[in-house]
Structure 1
Amino acid sequence: MPLGYLFGGGVGAEPHGIELYEASPLVRRLYEEISGWTGLTAEGILRGELPAGRERRQSAGTIREAALAVAVHDLLAEAGLRPDVVGGLSLGSMTASTLAGALDRRSLFTMLARTADAPGPGPADADEGMALAFVQAEDAQSPPPWQGLADVHLAGDFGPVVDGSRRILMLAGHRAAIEGLAAVSPPGAIVPLPGRDIAVHSPLRQPFRDFIAPHVASIPFTAPRIPLLSCLERGELKTADEVRDMFERNPTDPISLVDVYEGMRSHDVRLGLVMGPAIPEGILAFPFPVVHVERPEHIELAVSTAYDLGIEFAQTDSGTRDG
């Protein structure tokens, strides 16, 4: 019975992974490795205050988020659970690629550390922002209120909520345009996100994409060893070139959780394990049961749920590293 792993995107602004780190020597060894690759201390990755500067803060936050996701993966592997198919959103898609064997861990974390040096906005550049858009189900086929606005872009699709009444989308663009759109929309329809000052997955990230492109070009990608789903369009990434293309396009192209979980459904996934807290629990509809894994007790829940559903367990040994 196929098991899918879902990796969220976002930035780990809040402390993550402390309970797992304190409980597991395996996780402590992993964080020491990541520290050596990134120059951040293990304590800083876990709970340090994020540095000043937009891109430096983003870099440290992505390292924090990816470290927790990899730690959860390794603890599940230690317990005998290994995914049959993986996929994720944004940062999560890159973490999933690593754990599918398309690049090694050092390459992922070195790249995330390198992004700290990306150029920030200039003094004449407009402030950037993000928002969530809540679209009523009956309006799903109507033109969205941001259509035709040059400074607001569709950045992501998280799909319908559990009761099917609304669909949650993500918008990115100039902050003033997003706030102006929220002001003329029905209450709660457009919700600007405080503290989100980078218009990810939009054309405004082209300078960042140009900056990181040479580093991505130098990464020795390989074909994934297990099915790896794209979040940029519906489909599976089967070759090294396809994974590299996803890394290159990720900063500027919109993402879709629906593409990932529908891809998992096409692989007959019967249980999804969500790595870390980046995908909110209990809000979104999934076509199969999901367990969110972030703390030690969640590992036990994931294992018991998999056992109850008849998921096959792997032989456990010290070889928890897939990437």
Structure 2
Amino acid sequence: MALAYTFGGGMAMEAPGRALYDSFPAIRDWFAQVAEWTGISPDRILTEDFTAAFHSGDVSAHPDLRFVAEARQAAYSIGIADVLADRGIRPDIIGGSSLGFQIGATIAGAIDRREFFEYLRHATSSPLHPEGEPPQGIAVCVVPHDEGVEGFIGGRAGVDLACEIGQFIDGRNGMYMFSGYVDALRELAAEKPAGLVNVVTVLGGGHSPLQQFRHDWIAPHVAGMTFTDPAVPLVSGLSDRKLTTAGEVRADLLANSITTTRMAHVIRGLEREGTQLALVLGVSSGAGMFVFPFQVFPVVAPADFEAVGSAVYEAGIPLGAR
């Protein structure tokens, strides 16, 4: 029986509040370290809210917005892992999609923590689209199973499947992210019932062949990073294979920007390794919304730390073996 940590993609646009920070000295110390490396104060991580910009309809965002939102997501997830480790709780395997995979690789020791935040700064400073080309964006979509992804974007120029986020527990719908040219995404939204397609233009695109320019932007930086074999096996959203070497982690980090990522890959990989319980660390839309073949337990608030030990015990996972 295995205990997994799992992380979704995306970034933390909303201000998460002070509850975890005020409750755990380990998180306060960690945020101070993040502030030293990045120049992002703990107060910004805790209180700055980007949701207005997220829904603004603008076709560009200051790189600082993207950097702070991604660094916040990473800082919270890594800090939660540190608190769990202090309590003797460590994973047998880690799975994540997109930014979640990168965070998981850092927790697994495959990427140095400081180098990871330096990578985030570089990656989020890239242009949102090549000069002279139309702006790109993403669309988060609820896709009915009887229509499927092909019913949304089959044959549509300028739109790609970027991410399979999850299958809703209602058994009728899935959540997906599409990436492409803003005008094409807005046309798609206009053709579908209200609320099914939500276009976000402020962050650019992702996980699409149209993002080759971003791949080329980060490639020289990634080439200069130090990767080590992960102390804990990893599963990324790019395939359901188990990653155990530094080279495999590097390859998936580099391919992430131009390749469709799927939580189904993560779930299959974790299930194959005998996952009985997955702790969902930090901000994630997955716990409680989507279908998993094993128990999932979110760890996002101080009270969750009191209950997580019982969840591990009830799942029959022996902590002493770690």
**One-letter code aligned to 2:39:** G
Q: 1:178 to 1:195 in 2, by over 3 A?
A: closer
Partner letter of residue 87 of structure 2?
A
> What does the per-residue CA deviation read over 1:260-306, in whole Å, with 9 as the maximum and x for residues that have no partner?
01111101101011111223432111111111111111122222211
Is 1:81 the counterpart of 2:89? The answer is yes
Corresponding position of 1:48: 48
Corresponding residue to 1:180 among 176, 179, 187: 187
What residue in structure 1 maps to residue 113 of structure 2? 105
The residue aligned with 2:10 is 10
In structure 2, the CA distance between the partners of 1:4 and 1:136, relative to structure 1 (3 Å rule), is same
Is the Cα–Cα contact under 8 Å of residues 17 and 294 in structure 1 kept in the other structure?
A: no
Separation in structure 2 between the aligned mates of residue 155 and residue 203 of structure 1, nearest angstrom: 9
Residue 187 (structure 1) shift: 4.5
Which residue in the other structure is 2:159 paired with?
A: 152
| Per-residue Cα deviation, 1:69-106 (whole angstroms, up to 9, x for no partner) | 00111111112111001011111101111111212111
Q: Is the 8 A contact 2:94 2:234 kept in 1?
A: yes
Counterpart in the other structure of 2:22: 22
Q: Could you say what the CA RMSD is over the residues aligned between the two structures, in angstroms?
A: 2.2
Residue in structure 1 matched with residue 311 of structure 2 by the alignment: 305
Give the direction of change, closer, same or farther, for the CA distance of 1:121–1:143 in structure 2 (3 Å limit).
Answer: closer
Q: Match for residue 58 of structure 1? A: 66
> Sequence identity, in percent?
34
CA contact (8 A) 1:157 1:168 kept: yes
Q: TM-score, normalised by structure 1?
A: 0.90
Q: Does 1:277 align with 2:300?
A: no
> Separation in 2 of the partners of 1:9 and 1:314?
31
In 2 relative to 1, CA 176–120 (structure 1 residues): closer, same or farther, beyond 3 Å?
closer
Partner of 1:35: 35
**How far is the alpha carbon of 1:13 from its aligned partner?**
1.1
**Separation in structure 1 between the aligned mates of residue 131 and residue 262 of structure 2, nearest angstrom:** 32
Letter in 2 for 1:163: D
1:204 Cα offset (Å): 3.0
**Contact 2:166/2:286 (CA < 8 Å) preserved in 1?**
no
Aligned residue number for residue 219 of structure 1: 225
Alignment check: 8 A CA contact 1:54 1:120 kept: no
- Whether 2:197 is the aligned partner of 1:204: answer no
Question: Do the aligned residues in 2 keep the contact of 1:72 with 1:293 (CA within 8 Å)?
Answer: yes
Shift of 1:144: 2.8
Matched, 1:130 2:149: no
* Shift in alpha-carbon separation, 1:194–1:118, aligned structure 2, 3 A: closer
Q: Is the 8 A contact 1:82 1:314 kept in 2?
A: no
Residue 32 and residue 231 in structure 1: after superposition, are their counterparts in 2 closer, same or farther (change >3 A)? same
Select between 50-59 and 225-234 the one with higher mean Cα deviation.
50-59
Which residue identity lines up with residue 307 of structure 1 in the other structure? Y
> Per-residue displacement from partner, 1:192-226 (whole Å, max 9, x unpaired)?
24465311112232222211211111111111122
Q: CA, structure 1 residues 130+116, in 2 after alignment: closer, same or farther (shift >3 Å)?
A: closer
Q: Does 1:255 align with 2:261?
A: yes
Q: CA deviation at 1:123?
A: 6.8
Higher mean C-alpha deviation, range 58-67 or range 155-164:
155-164
CA separation of 1:56 and 1:152: change in aligned 2, threshold 3 A: same
Shift of 1:30: 0.5
Residue 150 of structure 2: aligned partner: 143
Q: Could you say what secondary structure the match of 2:319 adopts?
A: coil
* CA distance in structure 1 between the aligned counterparts of 2:8 and 2:179, rounded to whole angstroms: 18
8 Å CA contact retained: 1:86, 1:229: yes
Q: Which runs of 5+ in 2 are unaligned?
A: 54-59
Q: Report if aligned partners of 1:16, 1:65 keep a CA contact under 8 Å in 2.
A: no
Q: Partner letter of residue 168 of structure 2? A: V
Q: Which amino acid aligns with 1:90?
A: S
Matched residue pairs, number? Answer: 314
* Contact 2:287–2:298 (8 Å) recurs in 1: yes
Deviation at 1:151, TM superposition (A): 0.9
* Alpha-carbon distance in 2 for matches of 1:267, 1:211: 35
For residue 119 of structure 1, the aligned residue among 120, 123, 127 is 127
Find the aligned partners of 2:229 and 2:135 in 1 and give their Cα distance: 39
Q: Is the alpha carbon distance of 1:55 and 1:125 closer, same or farther for their aligned partners in structure 2, counting shifts above 3 Å?
A: farther
Distance 1:285 1:110, change over 3 A: same
Q: How far off is 1:259 after superposition?
A: 0.5
Work out whether residues 55 and 120 of structure 1, in 8 Å CA contact, stay in contact via their aligned partners in 2.
Answer: no
